[in-house]
């Protein structure tokens, strides 16, 4: 009831902006009140951190340290490699114990390369240099932001410096995503309530870099406190507007929020930048403030720990904090828990191992209990009721995509715009047959990606093979040409010699023939000398018996030689 | 004009060459695995059939007449074979993939009973030149229509959970039967 | 009787003329199908099909001289693609041509004598090295064709199966929970 009322108020204060609504969407139970009451708690320093070298979308970082090195807080331990990449830093001072594959929060449950750091308890930091962002050259500023390891904190962890490209051009609207539409998660809510001013300073940097005319901050209207805090902080700043959007999952999707706030629809296969909009999570803006104003790399993030735990809430923890320690900070999982989810219940995945560390991508950890997360009933055949199509916020036809993805007819699935699917899970949520539709779409997408990878590899191999054949052919040709040239040269010389001989028959001594003879003689001499110089093999370190034998043989040979010589002499 | 329209509708829906005359079943079952192939086959058959109807009318009326009526089937087959040969070369040049995909079914248009059947029906029903053309084109369009419909259904059937004994051609046959039943519904369209 | 012969001969002549003209007008110079087949093949250049590379195999398929089931690196999937392209029924891979998991060749640093024989054997120039220098295989460019194994005089090259990691991991096919029939 109170939520209803505050929603009305939030809506009433700004009625001027034209409302746009996307099709579909769902209203799952929020469960936000479980964790949004208490302030953010900062986790104490731990004795051990595990920092994955791949915390963002793109190429893994190049590791800069090895076991035994000492590191300081904020020291870069992984450098950006390739274009889509961003740096990774040490969360505290201490010693690198190992650089090895370790469990990471990933749906595969596979291990990935991590730097394990043992804290020395001093927490000494490298010197942080605040950036003079207003006067710094834009490309230098971008490189600094890359080296400070900034990546989107909304969950997609796309390296921020790429999105802050002012040369991309045509960005007139900057959207800050504070919608936080997934159930259970409240980290952005708390951050906006407590650190609104800092977020807005980060926003100012973004706005400066992109040259955006207008800043829109979209927040779902079930967070009236956050809306109020942000509005107060924004104050009279013209060009920054805090817009309350109706609570409807997935209004926090980038394309959906863009449409809600601007009415601009992102084209198929495109990004919001195609319609002049750049979207950032408010957590990223906060991290950017820390990076630019304090010079501090991305070392920590706020994460919601909720569900079946003793003290659900939001915790500011350093990246690399093992999940086990996070759970302990929240009072530990209560008895009867049946596993953990990383991310929200709609888009998150099961966490296999508590040893996996916190990364830039992890915004929430939910401890499951059968009462909160009842087991999904067994899937029944699709009855083509179309409920998924009505719920789809991307205006797709999930039942068609499902039909072909299930039969592994990926080309057909793709022809139904599979890659416009944002995997929000609305279709699976509403499906009366309980079909895990999104699982099929993820499966189909990764199969298609793999095929494209193979195709790319094959194309490369073909070019390399063709080049090798071309090279061999060329070498053959060159050899033949050289040979032909030499033959021609010799012929010409012979002809010339014959001509001179004919012209001057008295010159008995042909200089060329003389020279050739001399060369031949020299070669023969050399060969003779070499023959004399050759020492028999395997004559070192032989047993005495063998040496004796050899000596006898040599003596016999010498005798025979002298005999032959005598004969020759006679 | 009304007459021609009537011929078209009648041949496409009511007296569909495949569904009610049961002619041309061989390519109907053979090239209906993929939608693209079906469309290609339909287009090729339409071209051949329209041309064949016109030419065979001219041959029957001006060359054969009553005296040489016994040469009808023979000369029609020769003409159809010639046209198919031409089409084959044309497709090979313009769309090698379609040529390869149609494979044996392209030269087999020659022996497609629908292609010979329609010129013979033309003679039997004493159509004039324009009527023959429209009859041929209508028949071919009807053939293309059911071929494309059927191919679209078979593509879906590929992905469906069909009980094992019915997989493949069996379920395709059943589907074709049901389609034929559905086309019987057009019987009342024209009195 | 005479008129019948004349009529049939006339029809034959006209058709012959038309077909003759068409065969000149629509002459197909080379077979663009080869390119299409080559695009489907995995380009490992391994020669397991019995042809000295993927392109010759593609040419053989286009001419109808080779079967479509001779390419183990392409797997069943590749055969399916070829069958689709050529409009024939897919068939299982040929005898003794089972696909292996994707692997790359690795040179043992301690035993390589720098003979350059493997460099000459590599169809895609994925081996770097010079005479009497240690050779290294560029894993990204290795197609796993195993052509470098037999020439090595000291047997210092072995194949390592490429393991799945976080970057190449794929979502699995969802498995329905089966409900018990009461």
Q: What is the structure's pLDDT at B29?
A: 87
| Radius of gyration in angstroms for the set of CA atoms belonging to chain B, rounded to a whole number | 17
Do the domain assignments include residue A543? no
Domain boundary among A450, A468, A499: A499
pLDDT category at A434 given cuts 50, 70, 90 is very high
Q: Is the pLDDT of residue A402 over 80?
A: yes
Q: Is the pLDDT of residue A14 over 50?
A: no
Q: Measured between beta carbons, which residues in chain A are less than 8 angstroms from residue C42? A: 454, 458, 461
Q: What is the structure's pLDDT at A282?
A: 94
Average pLDDT over residues A127-139: 87
Q: In angstroms, rounded to a whole number, what is the distance separating the alpha carbons of residues B24 and B44?
A: 14
Provide the CATH number for the domain formed by C33-86 in this structure. Answer: 1.10.15.40
Do the domain assignments include residue A106? no
Q: How far is CA C72 from the centre of its chain?
A: 8
CB-based contact, B163 to chain A, within 8 Å:
no
Q: Is the pLDDT of residue A411 over 50?
A: yes
Beta bridge partners of A302: A316
Q: In angstroms, rounded to a whole number, what is the distance separating the alpha carbons of residues B96 and C35?
A: 11
CB contact under 8 A, A403 and B156: yes
CB contact under 8 A, A409 and B161: no
Q: Is the pLDDT of residue C29 over 80?
A: no
Average pLDDT over residues A431-450: 93
Do the domain assignments include residue A187? yes
Mean pLDDT across chain C: 85
Q: Is the pLDDT of residue A209 over 50?
A: yes
* 3 state SS for A486-528: HHHHHHHHHHHHHHHHHHCCCCCCCHHHHHHHHHHHHHHHHHH
Nearest residue to A250 (alpha-carbon basis) of A183, A152, A304, A151: A183
Provide the CATH number for the domain formed by C103-161 in this structure. Answer: 3.30.70.20
Of the two residues C168 and A514, the one the predictor is more confident about is: C168
Among chain C residues, CA nearest to A106? C166
Q: What is the structure's pLDDT at A476?
A: 93
Q: In angstroms, rounded to a whole number, what is the distance separating the alpha carbons of residues A328 and A159?
A: 30
E-strand spans in A60-157? 62-63, 70-71, 76-79, 88-89, 94-103, 111-119
Do the domain assignments include residue A405? yes
Domain boundary among A499, A514, A540: A499
Q: Give the B:C interface size as CB pairs under 8 Å.
A: 63
Please give the C-alpha separations between residue A341 and each of A365, A534, A536, C21, in angstroms, as whole numbers.
Answer: 6, 78, 77, 72
Q: What is the structure's pLDDT at A3?
A: 44
CA distance A395 to chain C (A): 23
One domain, residues A286 and A308: yes
pLDDT category at A93 given cuts 50, 70, 90 is very high
One domain, residues A192 and A231: yes
Q: Measured between beta carbons, which residues in chain B are less than 8 angstroms from residue C10? A: 63
One domain, residues A346 and A293: yes
Q: What is the structure's pLDDT at A195?
A: 93
One domain, residues A361 and A404: no
Do the domain assignments include residue A212? yes
Q: Is the pLDDT of residue A446 over 90?
A: yes
Q: Measured between beta carbons, which residues in chain C are less than 8 angstroms from residue A110? A: 164-166, 169
Q: What is the structure's pLDDT at A543?
A: 63
Q: Which among C11, C15, C86 has CB closest to B100?
A: C86
pLDDT category at A166 given cuts 50, 70, 90 is low
One domain, residues A321 and A449: no
**What 3-state DSSP class applies to A4?**
helix
Q: How does pLDDT run across A262-314, given as a tens digit for each residue?
A: 999 999 888 888 888 999 999 999 999 999 989 999 999 999 999 999 999 99
Average pLDDT over residues A171-176: 91
One domain, residues A342 and A391: no
Q: What is the structure's pLDDT at A545?
A: 67
Structural domain count of chain A: 2
Give chains near B: 3+ CB pairs under 8 A.
Answer: A, C
Q: Is the pLDDT of residue B6 over 90?
A: no
Q: Which among B68, B85, B100 has CB closest to C3?
A: B68
Domain boundary among A465, A499, A533: A499
Task: Give the tokens for residue A566.
Answer: 């005598």
Q: What is the structure's pLDDT at B162?
A: 86
Instruction: Look up the CATH number of the domain holding residue A40.
Output: 3.40.50.11540
The residues in A 389-428 lying below 8 A from B, measured between CB atoms, are 403-404, 406-407, 409, 412
Q: What is the structure's pLDDT at C109?
A: 87
Q: How does pLDDT run across B135-187, given as a tens digit for each residue?
A: 999 999 999 999 999 999 998 888 888 888 998 889 999 999 999 999 888 88
CB-based contact, C11 to chain B, within 8 Å:
yes
**Cβ atoms of residues A189 and A36 within 8 Å:** yes
Domain limits of chain C?
A: 33-86, 103-161
Do the domain assignments include residue A512? no
Among chain C residues, CA nearest to B103? C87
Q: Measured between beta carbons, which residues in chain A are less than 8 angstroms from residue C126? A: 464
pLDDT category at A158 given cuts 50, 70, 90 is very high
pLDDT category at A553 given cuts 50, 70, 90 is confident
Q: In angstroms, rounded to a whole number, what is the distance separating the alpha carbons of residues B31 and B144?
A: 11
CB-based contact, C80 to chain B, within 8 Å:
no
Q: Measured between beta carbons, which residues in chain C are less than 8 angstroms from residue A54? A: 166-167
Of the two residues A301 and C83, the one the predictor is more confident about is: A301
Do the domain assignments include residue A406? yes
One domain, residues A347 and A439: no
Do the domain assignments include residue A73? no
Q: What is the structure's pLDDT at A12?
A: 41
CB contact under 8 A, A406 and B159: yes
Q: In angstroms, rounded to a whole number, what is the distance separating the alpha carbons of residues A536 and C32?
A: 65
Q: Measured between beta carbons, which residues in chain B are less than 8 angstroms from residue A440? A: none
CB-based contact, C18 to chain B, within 8 Å:
yes
Domains C33-86 and C103-161 share a fold: no
Q: Which residues contact A96 (CB under 8 A, 6 or more apart)?
A: A65, A66, A67, A68, A69, A70, A71, A77, A115, A116, A117, A118
CB contact under 8 A, A462 and C143: no
Mean pLDDT across chain A: 87
Q: What is the structure's pLDDT at A13?
A: 43
Q: What is the structure's pLDDT at B31?
A: 83
Nearest residue to C102 (alpha-carbon basis) of C49, C143, C139, C71: C143
Q: Is the pLDDT of residue A16 over 60?
A: no
One domain, residues A316 and A252: yes
Q: How does pLDDT run across B33-68, given as a tens digit for each residue?
A: 888 888 888 988 998 999 899 999 999 988 888 888
Q: What is the structure's pLDDT at A43?
A: 92
| Sign of the dihedral defined by the CA atoms of residues A60, A65, A68, A73, in that order | negative
Q: How does pLDDT run across A232-275, given as a tens digit for each residue?
A: 998 877 788 999 999 999 999 999 999 999 999 999 888 888 88
CA distance C19 to chain A (A): 39
Least confident piece of the model among A9-13, A199-203, A219-223: A9-13
Domain residues for the domain of A285 are: 2-44+130-367
Among chain A residues, CA nearest to B158? A407
One domain, residues A260 and A320: yes
pLDDT category at C176 given cuts 50, 70, 90 is low
One domain, residues A173 and A266: yes
């Amino acid at each position: 009831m109170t939520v209803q009322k505050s929603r009305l108020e939030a809506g009433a204060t700004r009625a001027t902006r034209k409302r746009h609504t996307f099709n579909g969407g769902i209203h799952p139970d929020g469960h936000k009140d479980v964790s949004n009451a208490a302030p953010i708690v900062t986790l104490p320093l731990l004795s051990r951190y595990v920092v994955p070298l791949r915390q963002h979308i793109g190429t893994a970082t190049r590791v800069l340290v090895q076991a035994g090195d000492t590191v300081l807080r904020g020291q870069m331990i992984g450098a950006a490699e390739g274009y889509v990449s961003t740096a990774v830093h040490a969360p505290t001072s201490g010693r690198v114990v190992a650089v090895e594959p370790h469990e990471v929060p990933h749906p595969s449950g596979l291990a990935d390369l991590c730097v394990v750091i043992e804290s020395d308890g001093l927490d000494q930091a490298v010197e942080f240099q605040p950036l003079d962002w207003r006067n710094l050259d834009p490309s230098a500023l971008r490189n600094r932001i890359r080296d400070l390891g900034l990546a989107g904190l909304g969950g997609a962890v796309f390296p921020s410096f790429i999105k802050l490209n002012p040369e991309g051009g045509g960005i007139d609207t900057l959207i800050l995503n504070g919608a936080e539409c997934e159930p259970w998660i409240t980290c952005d809510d708390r951050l906006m309530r407590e650190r609104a001013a800092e977020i807005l300073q980060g926003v100012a940097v973004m706005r400066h870099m992109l040259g955006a005319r207008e800043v829109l901050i979209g927040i779902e209207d079930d967070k009236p406190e956050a809306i109020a805090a942000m509005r107060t902080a924004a104050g009279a700043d013209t060009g920054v507007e805090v817009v309350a959007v109706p609570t409807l999952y997935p209004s926090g999707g980038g394309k959906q929020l863009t449409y809600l706030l601007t009415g601009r629809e992102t084209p198929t296969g495109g990004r919001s930048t195609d319609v002049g909009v750049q979207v950032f999570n408010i957590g990223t803006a906060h991290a950017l403030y820390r990076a630019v104003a304090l010079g501090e790399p991305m070392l920590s993030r706020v994460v919601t720990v909720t569900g079946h735990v003793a003290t659900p809430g939001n915790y500011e923890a350093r990246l690399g904090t093992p999940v086990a320690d996070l759970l302990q900070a929240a009072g530990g999982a209560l008895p009867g828990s049946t596993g953990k989810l990383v991310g929200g219940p709609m888009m998150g995945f099961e966490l296999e191992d508590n040893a996996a560390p916190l990364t830039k991508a992890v915004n929430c950890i939910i401890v499951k209990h059968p009462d909160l997360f009842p087991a999904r009933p067994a899937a029944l055949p699709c009855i083509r009721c179309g409920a998924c199509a009505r719920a789809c916020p991307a205006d797709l036809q999930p039942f068609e995509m499902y039909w072909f993805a299930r039969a592994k007819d990926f080309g057909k699935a793709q022809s139904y715009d599979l890659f416009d699917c944002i995997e929000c899970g609305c279709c699976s949520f509403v499906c009366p047959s309980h079909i895990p539709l999104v699982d099929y779409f993820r499966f189909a997408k990764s199969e298609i990606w793999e095929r494209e990878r193979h195709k790319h590899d094959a194309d490369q191999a073909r070019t390399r093979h063709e080049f090798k054949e071309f090279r061999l052919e060329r070498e053959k040709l060159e050899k033949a040409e050289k040979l032909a040239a030499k033959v021609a040269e010799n012929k010409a010389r012979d002809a010339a010699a014959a001509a001179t001989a004919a012209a001057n028959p008295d010159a008995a001594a042909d200089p060329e023939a003389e020279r050739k003879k001399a060369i031949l003689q020299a070669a023969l001499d050399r060969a003779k000398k070499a023959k004399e110089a050759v020492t028999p093999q395997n004559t070192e370190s032989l047993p005495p018996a063998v040496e004796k034998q050899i000596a006898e043989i040599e003596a016999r040979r010498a005798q025979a030689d002298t005999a032959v010589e005598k004969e020759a002499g006679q | 004009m009304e007459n021609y329209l009537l011929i078209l509708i009648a041949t496409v829906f009511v007296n569909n060459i495949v569904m009610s005359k049961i002619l041309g079943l061989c390519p109907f079952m053979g090239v209906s695995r993929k939608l693209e192939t079906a469309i290609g086959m339909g287009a090729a058959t339409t071209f051949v059939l329209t041309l064949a109807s016109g030419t065979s009318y001219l041959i029957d009326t001006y060359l054969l007449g009553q005296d040489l009526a016994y040469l009808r089937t023979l000369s029609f087959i020769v003409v159809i074979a010639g046209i198919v040969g031409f089409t084959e070369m044309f497709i090979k040049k313009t769309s090698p993939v379609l040529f390869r995909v149609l494979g044996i079914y392209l030269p087999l248009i020659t022996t497609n009973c629908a292609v010979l059947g329609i010129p013979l029906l033309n003679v039997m029903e004493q159509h004039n030149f324009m009527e023959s053309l429209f009859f041929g084109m209508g028949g071919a369009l009807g053939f293309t229509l059911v071929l494309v419909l059927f191919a679209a259904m078979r593509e879906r059937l590929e992905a469906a959970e069909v009980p094992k004994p019915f997989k493949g051609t069996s379920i395709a046959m059943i589907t074709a039967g049901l389609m034929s039943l559905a086309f019987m519904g057009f019987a009342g369209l024209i009195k | 009787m005479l008129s019948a012969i004349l009529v049939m001969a006339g029809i034959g002549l006209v058709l012959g003329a038309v077909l003759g003209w068409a065969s000149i007008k629509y002459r197909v110079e080379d077979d663009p199908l080869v390119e299409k087949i080559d695009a489907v093949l995995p380009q490992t250049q391994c020669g397991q099909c019995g042809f000295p590379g993927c392109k010759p195999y593609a040419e053989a398929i286009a001419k109808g001289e080779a079967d479509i089931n001779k390419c183990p690196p392409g797997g069943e999937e590749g055969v399916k693609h070829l069958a689709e392209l050529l409009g024939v029924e897919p068939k299982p891979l040929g005898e003794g041509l089972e696909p292996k998991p994707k692997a790359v060749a690795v040179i043992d640093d301690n035993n390589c004598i720098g003979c350059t024989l493997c460099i000459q054997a590599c169809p895609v120039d994925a081996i770097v090295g010079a005479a009497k220098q240690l050779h290294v295989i560029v894993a990204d460019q290795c197609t796993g064709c195993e052509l470098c194994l037999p020439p090595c005089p000291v047997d210092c090259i072995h194949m390592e199966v490429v393991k799945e990691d976080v970057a190449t991991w794929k979502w699995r096919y969802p498995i329905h929970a089966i409900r018990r029939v009461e």
